[in-house]
Structure 1
Amino acid sequence: MSGVEELYPFLYERGDPGGTPGRLATVLAEVARSTRDKIVEIERVRGELLAAQGERIGMCAEEMARRFAAGGRLFSFGNGGSSTDAEAVAHQFLSPADGGRRLPARALTQDVATLTALANDVSFDVVFARPLAAACRPTDIAVGLSTSGGSRNVLRAFTEAHRIGMLTVGFAGYSGGAMAEAADAGEIDYLFVMPSDSVHRIQEAQTTTYHVLWELVQLALAQ
């Protein structure tokens, strides 16, 4: 036994003489089934989102394009996995891989010194709101992501962005949580709720949505 077999011996147990599949064959079959189920589910989520929010996605992109054309900048934020999505959003606008127009964008999570100073000296709830208050203008755009819709620091950031007059764009999952309440109160201009209770499907659908937003912003600016 060597290589992968030595690392994962349980996967290479043989089936019985009667023809029962070995462990590896069973695991591979389960992986294939799980993959098919996930593909079906994410297609459902994307389809429902398009049907329910397609028009608003277009409206949001047009408003974002107007802000960029007026000299606005995009600021994105989120926690955990959503922090990596926030950085992906900023990178997509700032340095598009397919040669689109570069637009000013910054993920607040990239400034680790400021984030950790605020978390340590003030409160983790203000790690996104304080940088927005210090640097942003009414022409700017705030993009916040939370799979649960209940991240307090994301909500505080939207409250501050709304006070400044920024365009506020939110991404959530499940039923939208507290972010849905903030949208009803007018603090989030465009909230896109992914119709799923799976964190993985929510984040995949959010990725699709902000890529579509980027494409529509590029088209609007080109016109």
Structure 2
Amino acid sequence: MSTVGEPGGIEALYPFLAPAPTDREAVVADLCASTRRKAAEIVELRRSLIDLHGERLVACARAMAAAFEAGGRLFAFGNGGSSTDAQAIAQLFTAPPARRRAVAAIPLAQDVALLTALSNDVGYELVFARQLAALGRRGDVAMGLSTSGGSANVLNAMAQASRLGMLTVGLAGYDGGPMAQDDRVSYLFVVPSASVHRIQEAQITLCHVLWELTQRVLTGET
């Protein structure tokens, strides 16, 4: 593991943490400059997604709203940070602010006992697919998040969802990875960045935009 002072260590990402003669003003200046750069990067990336995915977001929201109107449910899943984003978006659909319509939504990584049982008994690559096989049905919505687009358990879940006749929504980073290489995903949103941090920040923004657009359709605002 890289440590402070080693080539390619943590100071490569956070230079203001590198050992150096103490200069409080210089450290604060480096910290402020780093924060401004990161903030500018995510703002620029989020703005670029409007042109890249705007029309697809609207089409996806309409398809999701139609699924929910017909009694469909949302299943959201991912690993690590993508798992927490999936849980957040499921919570938003289930318990929205006032004057918004609640939708049944289930985050597939929330049950530790189930995850560990499936990981131990059938393999971690099937922890989401097996849940969809048991719980999913035609007309439901499967939303999978992966920064790389190559998470095996997310891809297997997407394939299972497609076999069940579910609407599939995928969010990936980089160039989309394997998630972008076939037609298993009905609506794919790729965040073109090589930074995991920026990808996940932009993905949760896309999820919130999808929720807002879907709510507008469900409540007759558009």
| TM exceeding 0.5 | yes
Q: Secondary structure at the match of 1:128?
A: helix
Q: Does 1:189 align with 2:186?
A: yes
Partner of 2:198: 201
Partner of 1:113: 113
Rg comparison, structure with higher value: 1
Cα shift at 1:99: 5.1
Partner of 1:218: 215
Q: Partners in 1 of 2:31 and 2:209 — Cα distance?
A: 29
Q: Partners in 1 of 2:99 and 2:131 — Cα distance?
A: 30
Cα shift at 1:100: 2.1
Q: Secondary structure at the match of 2:184?
A: coil
Cα shift at 1:203: 0.5
CA change 1:46–1:116 in 2 (3 A) is same
Structure 1 residues 37-46 or 206-215, which shifts more?
A: 37-46
Cα shift at 1:44: 1.7
Unmatched 5+ residue regions in structure 2?
1-16
Q: Partners in 2 of 1:198 and 1:82 — Cα distance?
A: 14
Partner of 1:59: 59
Cα shift at 1:23: 2.7
Partner of 1:36: 36
Pairing 1:1-223 to 2, within 5 Å after superposition: 23-97=23-97, 100-181=100-181, 185-223=182-220
Identity %: 57
Mapped contact 1:138–1:164 kept (Cα < 8 A): yes
Q: Secondary structure at the match of 2:64?
A: helix
Give the ranges of 4+ consecutive aligned residues of structure 1 lying more than 4 Å apart after TM superposition.
Answer: none
Output one character per residue of 1:130-169: Cα deviation in whole Å (capped at 9) or x when no partner. 0001011111000000001110000000000000010000
Mapped contact 1:48–1:195 kept (Cα < 8 A): no
Output one character per residue of 1:71-116: Cα deviation in whole Å (capped at 9) or x when no partner. 0000001011111111011011111245522110010001211111
Unmatched 5+ residue regions in structure 1?
1-10, 16-21
Aligned CA RMSD, in angstroms, stands at 1.4
